[in-house]
Structure 1
Amino acid sequence: MARGDGEPTLITSVQRALRLLEVVGEHPVGITAKSLSRRTGIALPTTYHLLRTLVHEGYLAKLDDGAFVVGSGVEGLHAAGREHRTWGRVRDAMTTLRDDLNAAIYLARYHDGEVEVVEVVDCPRSPRVDTWADFRQAAHATAIGKCLLAGLSPSERADHFSRHPPADLTPRTITRVRDLVHGDPPGLVHDVEEYALGTACMAAPVALGDVPATLAISFPTRRLADRSEFARPLGKAAGVISRMLAVPGDFPTGE
């Protein structure tokens, strides 16, 4: 397609197909190809060609009476769009907390028996902690892991440590399994140089049904004096994100 300098290259067939989808979406009981042609101004032969393609790809479905309705492919896009919007709002909340506290922000969950860090929001002046040891192997030494494990039963925690025996990561690391299994109750937890020397972390639970989830921050130990000032904003942000995730009822994967 010819275009002027600086103008985007537009694919007419794609534009027409999207217009057909829009019009079909306005008619939940279905609309015929001839009506679509009249409504959109697209020639009838082209309309039939585009409709066949859209039906084949699952974005439209053809009823027994010949009318067309929205197909399952569009429903999938709608669900994906809702998750992307939720994920964007979650990231915005994490970014705001990062800027307010000047700390790296983490969102994690306990999924399929493992600690899974889903998203990290940091910046050069508030860098994430150097993950020299896999968080999945170091739940006992991180505020993230402690908060997630606190959402499990003692037997589930014992199972976790049977698969991931706690190792000494720093001189401050707690490795006694009995203390870890019967450790922190649900709520705000922290670690000070248990995972990495010079680094402290705090974590607050995020409500996600039966799935343990957490919002956490990391910061240099030289800022430990500010720790009491971090608790309220962190807890408030965790509550905000809990409410965001309560509507979709799922945890964005970030993938």
Structure 2
Amino acid sequence: MIGSVRRALRLLEAAGSHDGGAPAKQLAREAGLPLSTAYHLLRTLTHEGYLRREAGVFVLGAAAGRLVGGGLQQKRRGMILDSLARLRDAVGAPVYFAVYREGEIEVLGVSASEAAPACEEWADFRETAHAHAVGQCLLGQLDEKTRRDHYERHPVEAVTPYTVRDLRSLERRICSLERTRPVTERQEYALGTVCAAIPVATGDTAATLAISLPLHQEDRLLTAIDQLRIEVDTLLNTLPLSISI
């Protein structure tokens, strides 16, 4: 074990235990370090942004905050993937969780298995929102101005022979969507695959949960998406979908 790393971490822990910061002598005492060693490590930690010196005391810096934030983000991601796995097992199909953020579609989680493989992303999901149920469901939650901006950056183009062919047809479909009904598509994004998506309430962020099935299981699609909706309603209080997405 590297002793200097251990000593630096003890200093960070000591500094983090004081909301208003603490002087070097107090941090050295709490970390069990000689004052000269503590001074050297404190200078290094301050230079790297893990600590910040203010009015003679040391407080945690931005770099330390990023470490904490990254750990929390990873924990939330793990919770989301665990929840998606539970949904996958309940409906017997791969489950996708995606949001529309900063002008782009972002898939935050996919849970699949050998028995329920996910659809291969052979064309960029961000550029083909018009062609898959995930994208159409998200577009349907946006206002017209935001959608128009999206179309300008990602024009409507055929991905398969079944893809909606033009913007006017797509807008007619988007405007006819009913919030209580799932969005479905048949081989519009990937040949041999059918998909369905439902909107998810996450505050101001457009979000969706979706499933996909091979074409020969198309007769299961609506039953599976209805089951997904039931499972989501049951698990909504435990799903961390609205936290820092």
Find the counterpart in structure 2 of residue 230 from structure 1: 224
1:48 aligns with 2:35: no
1:36 CA drift (Å): 2.4
With normalisation by structure 2, the TM-score equals 0.83
| CA distance 1:60–1:112, change in 2 (3 Å) | closer
| More off after superposition, 159-168 vs 10-19 | 159-168
1:138 CA drift (Å): 3.0
| CA distance 1:242–1:202, change in 2 (3 Å) | farther
Offset from partner CA, 1:40-87 (integer Å, 9 cap, x none): 2212211111111111112222232x2222223222222222222211
Q: Give the whole-Å Cα distance in 1 for the aligned partners of 2:114 and 2:186.
A: 22
Offset from partner CA, 1:77-105 (integer Å, 9 cap, x none): 22222222211111111122223333222
Q: Give the whole-Å Cα distance in 2 for the aligned partners of 1:78 and 1:26.
A: 14
* 8 Å CA contact 1:140, 1:175 repeated in 2: no
Q: Give the whole-Å Cα distance in 2 for the aligned partners of 1:132 and 1:78.
A: 35
- Taking the TM superposition and a 5 Å limit, the aligned residue runs for 1:214-253 are 214-235=208-229, 236-237=231-232, 240=236, 244-246=240-242, 248=243, 250-251=244-245
Offset from partner CA, 1:108-143 (integer Å, 9 cap, x none): 223444433343222332222133333334323311
* 8 Å CA contact 1:107, 1:120 repeated in 2: yes
2:188 to 188, 191, 194: 194
1:180 to 170, 179, 184: 170
1:121 aligns with 2:116: no
- Structure 2 counterpart SS, 1:61: strand
1:148 aligns with 2:143: no
Q: How many residue pairs end up in the alignment?
A: 238
Find the counterpart in structure 2 of residue 3 from structure 1: none
Find the counterpart in structure 1 of residue 85 from structure 2: 95
1:189 CA drift (Å): 1.2
* 8 Å CA contact 1:104, 1:122 repeated in 2: yes
Find the counterpart in structure 2 of residue 131 from structure 1: 121
| CA distance 1:233–1:24, change in 2 (3 Å) | farther
Runs of 5+ in structure 1 lacking a partner?
1-9
Offset from partner CA, 1:15-46 (integer Å, 9 cap, x none): 11111111222222332222222222212211
Runs of 5+ in structure 2 lacking a partner?
none
| More off after superposition, 175-184 vs 89-98 | 175-184
| CA distance 1:68–1:131, change in 2 (3 Å) | closer
* 8 Å CA contact 2:194, 2:221 repeated in 1: no
RMSD: 2.7
Q: Give the whole-Å Cα distance in 1 for the aligned partners of 2:168 and 2:187.
A: 21
| CA distance 1:69–1:202, change in 2 (3 Å) | same
Offset from partner CA, 1:173-220 (integer Å, 9 cap, x none): 333533321322345211122323321111111233433221211111
- Structure 1 counterpart SS, 2:12: helix
| CA distance 1:52–1:155, change in 2 (3 Å) | closer
For 1:240, the aligned partner's letter is L
